Amino acid sequence: MSACIIGWAHTAFGKLADETVESLVTRVAREAIEHAGLEASDIDEIYLGHFNAGFSAQDFTASLVLQADDGLRFKPTTRVENACATGSAAVHQGIKAIRAGAAKRVLVVGVEQMTTTPGPQIGANLLKASYLPEDGDTPAGFAGVFGNIAAAYFQRYGDQSDALAMIAAKNHKNGVDNPYAQMRKDFGYEFCRTESDKNPFVAGPLKRTDCSLVSDGAAAIVLADVGTAMQSRRAVLFRAAEHVQDFLPMSKRDILAFEGCAVGWKQAFARSGTSLDDLSFVETHDCFTIAELIEYEAMGLAKPGQGAGVAMSGETAKDGRLPVNPSGGLKSKGHPIGATGVSMHVLSSMQLTGEAGGIQVPGATLGGIFNMGGAAVANYVSILERIR
């Protein structure tokens, strides 16, 4: 028994000063249930993805979802957390409830409000997703962790600044047509490649355009078992939903290989009976451009150390052989931690149902998603296909 996505909702991402975690959660919960053609009383179980780590004064946020509709009262509701993959972790818990026969319809919500937190505290909160005994004193926080990864990659394979700029430019160009994106501006390759007052170095070889945005936002999906989904308005099937957890200390693994990501993709292709060549697009976790570059290699688009060729060739552009991040990715869309994984599933479902508007990949039939927590520690891969 597998699961399908039958409805969804998504707020704009950005600095949402007039919103709260509660207002964001309740809005997308109501809208997703309505989009699925259901009443709140039809929901059997609820999962909330919310990282928090100090971003929100209100903790114990699972029950905030019930504020969306009195019909949700007394429904089993659980908060799920797995760093930057928190949203996908919540999605996977919903899938498991359906596979176990414990629920027929599950509401999954992802949320984060980050921008009300002072800058230094944001950095400290995000650094908690690394292994503090090794990385706790890293300058520039979590950006510094990925700056170190980028520097090590450059040392092993040569300067990749051109490729990182191309990835940044691609994702910003794609994000222009995404109404949910925080940064809807096509900066162009030269701006992303060149150090300037507006694009300074942040950590190691990473410039501002190499780093995803601090953001607020929420997204939600409604899951259903296949039998129920086939009676719904739409049904996007999980051909695969794989979760691979790796060691937290980077010293215990080859951090330039993103091995957990590679294992996740391998398992997802085996589970779904598909290959990389079958995919119409991929939404991948570009928290930093160096992450997307290494993910090309981990998913099998390029051999180790050769991801730059893929970036520079245009193969992953929206009109390329395999569009990667046609939504603009985290780089353009923003990265409200708990919402990100759910957002990826919403936007991929929109692609597969032909409802993606200006970011639509023509004729999309099979979509891949990779969402990670930490530096390739929590690795989630989904392969989606529309069946109704």
| Alpha helices (runs of H) in the chain, residue ranges in sequence order | 21-35, 86-99, 119-127, 132-135, 141-157, 161-175, 189-193, 226-229, 259-272, 289-299, 307-313, 329-333, 337-352
Is 335 catalytic? The answer is yes
With tokens 């049904």, the residue in question is: 235
What's the length of the chain? 388
Residue in 140, 125, 32 with CA at minimum distance from that of residue 83: 125
Residue from 110, 111, 112, 105 nearest 7 by CA = 105
* Residue 84 annotated in active site: yes
Among residues 214, 195, 223, 160, the alpha carbon closest in space to that of 331 is found at 214
Catalytic position from the list 35, 92, 335, 345: 335
DSSP 263-323: HHHHHHHHHHT--GGG-SEEE---SBHHHHHHHHHHHTSS-TT-HHHHHHHTTTSTTSSS-
Q: Are 382 and 238 in contact (CB under 8 A)?
A: yes
Backbone phi, then psi, for 21, in 5-degree steps? Answer: -55, -40
Contacts of 325 (CB under 8 A, 6+ apart): 170, 171, 174, 282, 283, 284, 286, 292, 316, 331
Please compute, for residue 137, the number of CA atoms within 13 A of its CA located in the half-sphere on the CB side: 2
Annotated catalytic residue, options 4, 10, 84, 243: 84
Active-site positions read 84, 335
